[in-house]
Amino acid sequence: MARTTLEYLLKQVLPEVGVTIKPSDRLDGLLALAEPEVSSGLRKRLEVVRFAGNKSVHVEAAPSDVMVLVLDEEDEAILGLLFQTVNDLVDELITRRKQTEDAYAMLPEGVLANIERKRAQRES
């Protein structure tokens, strides 16, 4: 369920942060597109969600070590980590960006104009 949520979330959020996706993009491609937008630690955990989700859908003769951890009643921490990873993605791509934009928009117009002028000078 975390894997499916992750894929759906990326398809919704990446275009909102300026990343172009195709409807045919699979989760591994979406994660590659998201890489510049998220921290390296989160990127690694997103790969764990992808791998564990794929292994649960495409069951082989013997489950992988990650799936054994996910299904082990004694170690529910990894299961919580999978869902926390999706929450952390929402935090990085949506919540913190909105907080930053809201704070930036509170600056006086003169300050904003000065910041934009300096940015334009650096870029030229």
Give pLDDT tens digits for 42-80.
Answer: 999 999 999 888 877 665 655 555 545 455 555 567 778
Tokens 């980590």: give the residue: 81
pTM for the model: 0.72
How many angstroms separate the CA atoms of 63 and 95, rounded?
A: 36
Give pLDDT tens digits for 94-113.
Answer: 999 999 999 999 999 999 99
Tokens 């907080």: give the residue: 99
Tokens 């989760």: give the residue: 27
CA distances, 19 to each of 12, 24, 53, 97 (Å):
11, 15, 24, 15
Closest CA to 25 of 46, 13, 7, 48: 7
Residue 6 pLDDT greater than 90, yes or no:
yes
